[in-house]
């Protein structure tokens, strides 16, 4: 067995770390659980970069309040849970199509700068957010969705492995990441904490010797 050179430029390149996929942390607050019928109310995305030493870090964050698409369902229980009033007169929001067009363009630009071929969605219970992204993309006929169509990284699973916790606030607590329950269920806040958690887990794996992997002679 031999270990790959940890100082090799290829091992410190994001495109090499996740087989040309660029991690983007996404959190979505919605008007229900059905991605086909329920409204997206907020979306936040955090672009992840890799520094010269091969450690992940937050590069850029985006946040949008979203106007529910025409005919979208809004469950009262979901609105109560998030505390979002979609029709508040002071709420500044953008149409869903505009939000996703802007988001996809920013992500594609970031991918090109990192020589990545795809974005891969990172989320806490990631398939929930992934489903809403895919539904919105299909709803508006957006042809250049940068995200992988089915693969994603789930920090609930990774946190269970690394910290023995699957709830975001509890995993952050064990990891030593500040978590304010009063700020929770805001897409912007949850995406930031999820991004910190993801970077910490991947970076700790590197520190423990898990990356770069050993190869058989």
Q: Report the number of distinct structural domains present in the chain.
A: 1
Q: What is the DSSP letter of 91?
A: -
Report pLDDT digits (tens) over 136-179.
999 999 999 999 999 999 999 999 999 999 999 999 999 999 99
H helices present in the chain, as ranges: 14-17, 76-82, 96-113, 126-139, 155-163, 168-175, 187-207
Residue 128, domain extent: 2-215
Per-residue pLDDT at 1 = 34
Q: What tokens appear for 31 in the block? A: 């008007």
CA distance 91 to 208: 46
Do strands 147-154 and 56-67 pair parallel, antiparallel, or not at all (unpaired)? unpaired
Q: What is the CATH number of the domain that holds 84?
A: 3.30.420.10
The sign of the torsion formed by the CA atoms of 139, 143, 148, 151 equals: positive
pLDDT tops 70 at residue 210:
yes
* 10 — pLDDT class (breaks 50, 70, 90): very low
Beta strand 118-123 with 40-50 is unpaired
Residues 165-173: contacts with CB within 8 Å, 24+ apart?
A: 168/124, 168/193, 168/194, 168/197, 171/197, 172/196, 172/197
Mean pLDDT, the chain, integer: 93
Collapsed DSSP state (helix, strand, coil) of residue 150 = strand
Residues with a known catalytic role: 185
pLDDT > 70? residue 122: yes
Q: Indicate left, alpha or beta for 85 from its phi (over 0: left) and psi (-120 to 50: alpha).
A: beta
Q: What is the pLDDT of residue 199?
A: 98
Q: What confidence score (pLDDT) does residue 36 get?
A: 98
């Amino acid at each position: 067995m031999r270990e790959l050179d940890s100082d090799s430029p290829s091992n410190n390149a994001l495109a090499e770390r996740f087989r040309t996929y660029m991690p983007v942390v996404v959190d979505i607050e919605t008007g229900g659980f059905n991605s086909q019928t329920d409204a997206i109310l907020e979306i936040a995305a955090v672009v992840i970069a890799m520094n010269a030493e091969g450690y992940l870090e937050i590069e850029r964050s985006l946040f949008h309040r979203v106007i529910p698409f025409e005919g979208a369902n809004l469950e009262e229980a979901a609105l109560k849970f998030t505390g979002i009033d979609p029709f508040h007169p002071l709420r500044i929001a953008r149409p869903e199509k505009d939000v996703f067009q802007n988001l996809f363009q920013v992500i594609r630009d970031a991918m090109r700068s990192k020589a990545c071929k795809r974005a891969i969605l990172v989320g806490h219970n990631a398939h929930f957010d992934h489903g809403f992204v895919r539904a919105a993309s299909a709803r508006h006929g957006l042809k250049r969705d940068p995200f992988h169509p089915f693969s994603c990284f789930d920090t609930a699973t990774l946190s269970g492995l690394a910290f023995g916790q699957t709830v975001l606030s509890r995993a952050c607590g064990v990891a030593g990441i500040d978590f304010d329950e009063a700020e929770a269920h805001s897409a912007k806040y949850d995406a930031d904490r999820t991004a910190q958690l993801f970077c910490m887990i991947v970076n700790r794996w590197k520190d423990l010797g898990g990356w770069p992997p050993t190869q058989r002679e």
